[in-house]
Amino acid sequence: MRRRILGGTGISVSEFALGAMMFGSWGNTDAEEGVRTIRLALDAGINLVDTADIYGAGGSERIVGRAIRGRRDGVVLATKFHSPMGPDANQQGNSRRWIVRALEGSLRRLGTDHVDLYQVHRIDPDTDIDETLSALSDLVRAGKVRAIGTSNFPADQLVEAQWAAERRGHVRFRSEQPQYSVLARAVETHVLPTAQRHGVGVLPWGPLGAGWLTGREIRPGVGRAVLEQRKFDLSVPENAAKAHAVTELRKVAADAGLSLTHLALAFVNAHPAVTSVLLGPRTPGQLADLLGAAGVDLDDEVLDRIDAIVPPGVDLNRADHHWVPRVLTDASLRRRPLPRGRGTA
């Protein structure tokens, strides 16, 4: 499997990485099968394994820890923090107080004394980025973390973090993990160019569009959480547009002699900003299919046909995004307060 350097760190990572979100209570609850799947990925040449404390309330990290036991030196191990890990308001977020505790928990579950890439899972508008970078820099200098990165950060926040690191003398973010697929291309507009400009490696998640690009029939209500229905309800115009795009993409894949899955993975891998594409299998069989995309390159004719179906920079359904800025969800941040003593006309 081909290798690339992660964000100028000198760390060599495989062109495909193993995302471990589906191991544990969020996906495959058979821990032994999860361990087997991870080891098969390592045997196939994948060396970057990515997880997060929130996946299965720590269950994914425990399975990863078991799987890499005895092979730790050959694994570039990545995990993430931010999401709630308990009922206390301080058991979440991007504060120094929580970052230090969160890492201790992850190291314990993973059975290691350090992680190679520690990532901020989401933006925390209540915590100054200087506070977050200061804490992460101390962990790097203590040897508990080798490099730091972000996930789901918009371009302006990536730039602000780079500026803060330079001005304050902090370790800087070396990677970003955005959602990116043929059906969700908005990151091509600002996030990916910004990452390239600042030498930040990109580790895209969701390259198969949450199942739309696997080649299987999309049937709302089957195996989907209620909160996810908006992403698969074909009566929604944006989802109908996705269904039409998938039909056209199948034709492109067939003409190229590829499965839809391999076309989708190769498309994401073709962007020059991308360092390693996250695969998210639940079983060894799914992993075997995904690994078939290793080394597949798409020529300009195929990429042009894809662009004609889903234009560059376009998300067919913005509801697919997991993070929405607070300025869009909190009306008070968009409305100037009325002067005291004055009401509406």
To the query of whether residue 55 is one of the catalytic residues in this protein, the response is yes
* Sign, Cα dihedral of 83, 89, 93, 96: negative
Rounded Cα–Cα distance for residues 25 and 91 (Å): 20
Nearest to 49 by CA among 69, 30, 31: 69
**Maximal C-alpha separation, the chain:** 72
CA angle 252, 188, 298 (to 5 degrees): 30
Dihedral pair phi/psi, residue 102, rounded to 5°: -65, -40
Distance CA 307, CA 318 (A): 18
Angle, to 10 degrees, between the axis of helix 96-110 and the axis of helix 59-67? 40
Structure tokens, 234: 């074909």
Active-site residue among 23, 55, 81, 98?
55
Residue 139: φ, ψ to 5° = -70, -35
Name the nearest CA neighbour of 168 among 199, 137, 198, 197: 137
Q: Cα(82)–Cα(140) distance, rounded to whole angstroms? A: 18
CB half-sphere exposure, 261, CA atoms < 13 A: 18
Among 78, 59, 67, 10, residue whose Cα is nearest residue 42 = 67
Point out the residues that are catalytic: 55
